[in-house]
Amino acid sequence: MTHILRLDASARPGLADKDEHGSHSRALTHQFVTQWRYHRPEDTVTHRDIGLTPPTFVSHNWIASAFTPPEHQEPWMTEFLEESDQLIDELVAADILVFGAPLYNFGMPAALKAWVDQVVRLGRTVDYDPTTPEDPFTPLLADRPRHAVILSSRGGAGFGPGGELAHLNHLEPGLATVLEFIGVTNIHYIAIENQEAGGELLAASVAEAERQVNSLVEELQASLRTTRTAEPA
């Protein structure tokens, strides 16, 4: 059984084409999960809406707690890390991470960055060994194959790889850097562009993104069947 963690980071609560001012990235995450469970209803999903309920920003007390060894933590430190522990537990339990992330001012939404800062933590998702300065970090989520699907939306066009504005896009590259750092290296990208232009340009981009989502669901589910068939009896 496969477990999916769906993370929506858009500040817009609704779905594009269904709700006024609805979110295109939420529409894609909704489509991905719906299509996945249509074919595999036995699989499970955790939905974390960080766009509407953002994680707490890192603070002095968080840093003091996270960088104190567990055996030396005071009770208030353990309590202070409860949110981080919950978010990390959700992350660790997932086989597939599905991110709905609009491009805000060339980068990820603040709510998504807050989630990143809560889950990238020494001893939980990454280890550090100062005695090996040439390669001091060990990603702790490399214990088994995990996939990340980044479903983004952009106001303009040309922000994808090879595009004329790709150098201004710090959303997917930034999130990929974080995921790879903690051990999630199978990363897939689908984006909707031309939200500001609207009309036929936007409609074509939406249709192509929806087609890619359906294709990716088929591809990942096929890879799961192949992997499990290859496992020894």
- 65 a known binding residue? no
Report how far apart the first and last C-alpha atoms of the chain are (Å, whole number). 17
Query: Residue 12 to residues 56, 160, 202: CA-CA distances in angstroms?
Result: 19, 23, 18
C-alpha to C-alpha distance for 47 and 58, rounded to whole angstroms: 22
Residues 6 or more apart whose Cβ sits within 8 Å of residue 71: none
Residue 223 annotated as binding site: no
146 is in an annotated binding site: no
Residue 24 annotated as part of some ligand binding site: yes
Which candidate, 219, 168, 164, places its Cα nearest to that of 190? Answer: 219
Binding site per annotation, positions for FMN: 10, 23-25, 153-156
Annotated binding site: 10, 23-25, 153-156
